[in-house]
Amino acid sequence: MKNFIRLFLLLNVGTVLFACTPVPTVPSNNTADTTPALLRLGTAGLQKDLLIDQNSTAAESRHARRADEVLFVATAEDIESGIKNITLDFSVNINCKDVGTSQVFSETQTAPVSGNGLPTKLTKSFTFKVANYRARCSRDRAVISLNIRASSENGAGAFTQLQPAGLVAVDPLKVATFNLHAPGNHPQSDHQRWGEQLGSMADVWVLTEVKSLSEAQFIASAAGMPHVKMHPGGDIAIASRTPLYGEQIRTIDPPGNYPSGLSNILSVTTTIDGVAHQIIGTHWGIRGAGDRQLCACDSDPHRLQAAQAILDFANASTAPAKFVAGDMNAYSGFGPQDHDGPDFNTPDFVGSTTEVDLLRSLFVDPFVFLNKDNSSICSNQRIDYVMVKGSYRPTDYNANFCAQASPSDHPFVIATFEAFDP
């Protein structure tokens, strides 16, 4: 009911409900009318509804969700010669994985026959149920797009045609991260299980503490992800269901002798649903200059350099959707922050680190955005992150997979995102 109320306010109650309120008529043979009808097309049921009229100079498009039922209402008005008809022309494209089908049709509302002439207002409505079209793709990833164009004819035979309105409905995108806990020397049975039980839930998976490309490829294959890129220095791999390209790398190496001080960054691009997505995987070091051991509660200038490098990669990318994921080994101020393990006499760290603050100045953290609490993560500290910037909004976050993630000492983290209109 809420959507219909919104649309009535949008298009005027008297215009839409002409069946309840008498609509004036004019003689149907008024050929002296030299101006076309006023025409507008509006929606209800979207996250951000649209309205197009005869003054609109460009097409408008919106994102729809899989369960949306979108009501379109076109209203034409001409007080001089009345309205003969309104037509809605539709083009629907359904892309199931690599197979596309199209459907073109139109619907026309003709003015009722009346001895008094033509009505000065006429409406035509149509409800687009995304789920009905999405069902044709079964479990495959799908893109449903609709183009609709409204036109009307007045009593003098003049036509008005609006700019097209468009809808695009894409499936939610799931991005995950997982630290394999090297050098755990885990058997292949663990790698197989991680892929089948954990990675299979995601569309893109950032792995850290990876020992080799072959190890990453084996795990990714078990997850059904044929595409893998790895940092040349090891440590980080990105697996995906769609091809990866445009690799960029960066390593921050503080003065010292231990490789655990390195902060590695791998950036790639992948095209999902016809749109470029930047995926940045990272693993920050646990030692500072001089091999100083760092706590997740410490702010460190070299980890801050890593955060800035990630921002530089993201700001330089033209992809409308950008994600960063991995093991940052640093606290954000949100979620469990037990920096001393079993020492329950020492309070947990309260606050954030400068490096994660810098990341969050550009990226959205789903844990924070969704107001999650510690029950959503099966760990005593939150140092593994998935964040987003751009045309997606977080809709779910889950890091409660510790049984499946064993024997790694990190939780598997997965976040779900839906495309939206800012």
Neighbour tally for 375: CB within 10 Å: 8
* Predicted local confidence at residue 30, as pLDDT: 60
pLDDT score of 384? 98
The predicted model scores a pTM of 0.88
Tokens of 329: 């080994």
Name 39's bridge partners. Answer: 76
Using CA atoms, how far apart are residues 120 and 79, in angstroms rounded to an integer?
A: 5
Contact 269, 284 (CB under 8 A): no
Query: Which tokens in the block code for residue 219?
Result: 């795990």
Residue ranges of domains in the chain, CATH in brackets:
2-170 (2.70.50), 173-419 (3.60.10.10)
Token pair 């215009």 in the structure block, residue: 15
The set of residues, in sequence order, having a beta carbon less than 8 Å from that of 114 and lying 6+ positions away, is 25
Q: For residue 239, how many other CB atoms are within 10 A of its CB?
A: 30
Which amino acid makes up residue 220? Answer: A
CA dist., res. 256 & res. 98, Å (int): 50
CA dist., res. 130 & res. 256, Å (int): 57
For residue 157, count other CB atoms closer than 10 A to its CB.
11
Q: How far apart are CA 324 and CA 44, in angstroms?
A: 34
Beta bridge partners, 91, equal: 104, 147
Bridging pattern class, strands 321-327 and 275-283: parallel
252, amino acid identity: I
Going 257 to 260 to 261 to 267, the CA torsion angle's sign is: positive
Give buried/exposed letters for 192-206 (b at 16+ CB in 10 A, else e): ebbbebbbebbbbbb
pLDDT reported for residue 9? 42
User: Any bridge partners for residue 118, and if so which?
Assistant: 26
Q: What are the helix (H) ranges across 175-224?
A: 188-193, 213-222
C-alpha to C-alpha distance for 294 and 225, rounded to whole angstroms: 34
SS3 at position 97: coil
Mean pLDDT by groups of 10 residues along the chain of 422 residues: 44 41 67 83 94 95 93 95 95 86 94 83 95 87 94 92 96 97 84 97 98 96 98 96 97 93 97 96 96 94 97 97 98 90 75 97 98 94 97 96 93 96 82
- Residue 60, CB-side half-sphere exposure with 13 Å CA sphere: 17
Q: How does DSSP classify residue 15?
A: H
